[in-house]
Amino acid sequence: MGSITLQKVSKVFGEAKVIPSIDLDIKDGEFVVFVGPSGCGKSTLLRLIAGLEDVSGGKIVIDGRDATEKAPSERGLAMVFQSYALYPHMSVRNNIAFPLKMAGVDKAEIDRKVTDAARVLNLTDYLERKPRQLSGGQRQRVAIGRAIVRQPSAFLFDEPLSNLDAALRVNMRLEISELHQQLKTTMVYVTHDQVEAMTMADKIVVLNRGNIEQVGSPLELYSRPRNLFVAGFIGSPKMNFITGQHAAALNAHTIGVRPEHLTISTTEGLWKGEASVTEHLGSDTFIHVRTEVAGLLTVRVLGDTGIRAGETVYLTPDPARIHRFNEKGVAK
Ligand code: ADP
Ligand code: MG
């Protein structure tokens, strides 16, 4: 079991109200990602759940029991950090076994659990190595192994992939998703990277200044962002926003159109402009267009277009994919 419920949880550091008041339900087995800009309170919220920080107010319920006052070791959770502090002088086997040895588990049981964890994490052939003889990704797997052997009711990850290079991050992202499919244990995962959130989560919690802006599945957040913050945060390249008379003409204070929902033509369309920079990614091209009506807009097209910088172009939004926001920035 691994359900976690937050009821009016708040956290104050001195004068700073870092978490004003959060209510959240995490179901057993769910993969939940907390995402938001740096400093928005993601780590603080995770540390409150882990018990590494005391709440200033509210209640944390784990598996139906009030855990607000419980010590971290009594919560049945395991945390994996960005810096995977492994013991350099210990083998992989002993690094993974460490928490079990500390807990006084007998040797046969430790061996069995370490063998199981190593198999799940593809570390079987590396058990006798020292951390310095491993790649960054393997070291991160050892850190996860140390969490797995404790059989927690939930894993808490704080930006575990931030220290890895881009290619390795993509690999580890897949590995952690596979691990979740195998173990089916609740995972709460913190990242500032919306792509990580979109690709891994069952449920995304978008945080901004310690408040929840929206909770939903990746596709819900993409298709129906509740406000300008979520609309601008989820999706890459970012959604284009247009205000003023051209937004008013489409019945909104502000309208948002994703780059993939604009078509570009050299002969006709709704908004006239001049192609500025084009970015060629091979599979896609991003064309930045300086428009008379709405400033710089980004268009995403599949493959290549013949359009070059300086050309006159016309943009047209897909009417079914226009997001409308009122003067408070709330979706209509
Ligand atoms: P994130 O993980 O989203 O980047 P954090 O949860 O680390 O953000 O921090 C949220 C805010 O709380 C930041 O403004 C940070 O400076 C502040 N903060 C975090 N921990 C402490 C602390 N121990 N004392 C004072 N302020 C803190
Ligand atoms: Mg953090």
Hey, whose CA ends up nearest to atom 24 of ligand 1?
Answer: 13
Share of the chain above pLDDT 90, in %: 84
Which of 212, 230, 248 marks a domain boundary? 230
Same domain, 159 and 264: no
pLDDT at residue 24 in the model:
98
Same domain, 217 and 255: no
Of all ligands present, the nearest one to the C-alpha of 39 is: 1
Edge-first strand order for the sheet with 4-13 is 16-26, 4-13, 57-62, 65-66
| 130, 89 contact by CB (below 8 A) | yes
pTM for this model (two decimals):
0.93
Same domain, 209 and 121: yes
Which of 208, 230, 252 marks a domain boundary? 230
Question: Hey, what's the torsion of the CAs at 20, 82, 4, 217, to 10 degrees?
Answer: 80
| Rounded Cα–Cα distance for residues 175 and 129 (Å) | 21
Same domain, 212 and 298: no
| Cα 93 to averaged position of ligand 2 atoms, centre (Å) | 29
Task: Find the domain containing 280 and state its range.
Answer: 237-325
Span 118-156, pLDDT tens digits: 998 889 999 999 999 998 888 989 999 999 999 999 999
What's the total number of domains in the chain?
A: 2
Same domain, 175 and 284: no
Q: Ligand 1 pocket: which of 10, 13, 162 to mutate (most atoms <8 Å of CB)?
A: 13
Q: Pairing state of beta strands 240-243 and 254-257?
A: antiparallel
Edge-first strand order for the sheet with 254-257 is 240-243, 254-257, 323-325
Same domain, 219 and 259: no
| Rounded Cα–Cα distance for residues 252 and 247 (Å) | 5
| Cα 190 to averaged position of ligand 2 atoms, centre (Å) | 7
**Quick one: DSSP state of residue 331?**
B
What token pair was written down for 268?
Answer: 């006709």
CATH number at residue 70: 3.40.50.300
Same domain, 58 and 147: yes
Same domain, 21 and 152: yes
pLDDT at 76 over 80: yes
| Torsions phi, psi for 37 (to 5 deg) | -65, 160
Hey, whose CA ends up nearest to atom 13 of ligand 1?
Answer: 39
Which of 175, 203, 230 marks a domain boundary? 230
Residue 171: which pLDDT band, with cuts at 50, 70 and 90? confident
| Cα 45 to averaged position of ligand 2 atoms, centre (Å) | 9
Q: Ligand 1 pocket: which of 17, 18, 81, 233 to mutate (most atoms <8 Å of CB)?
A: 18
Span 229-248, pLDDT tens digits: 999 999 999 999 999 888 88
Span 286-331, pLDDT tens digits: 999 999 888 999 999 999 888 999 999 999 999 999 999 999 999 9
| Rounded Cα–Cα distance for residues 278 and 327 (Å) | 32
Same domain, 316 and 169: no
Report if residue 331 sits inside a domain: no
Same domain, 294 and 147: no
List the beta bridge partners of residue 187. 31, 155
CATH number at residue 267: 2.40.50.140
Same domain, 250 and 226: no
What token pair was written down for 127?
Answer: 């058990």
Of all ligands present, the nearest one to the C-alpha of 157 is: 2
SS3 26: strand
Residues with CB under 6 A from ligand 1: 13, 16, 18, 36, 38-44
* Residue 188, number of CB atoms within 10 A of its CB: 25
Q: From the alpha carbon of 14, which atom of ligand 1 is closest?
A: 25
Report if residue 52 sits inside a domain: yes
| Cα 286 to averaged position of ligand 1 atoms, centre (Å) | 35
Same domain, 170 and 319: no
Report if residue 211 sits inside a domain: yes
Report if residue 332 sits inside a domain: no
Q: Ligand 1 pocket: which of 35, 44, 82, 191 to mutate (most atoms <8 Å of CB)?
A: 44
pLDDT at 82 over 90: no
Q: From the alpha carbon of 210, which atom of ligand 1 is closest?
A: 10
What token pair was written down for 197?
Answer: 């959130």
Question: Hey, what's the torsion of the CAs at 151, 120, 80, 133, to 10 degrees?
Answer: 130
Report if residue 330 sits inside a domain: no
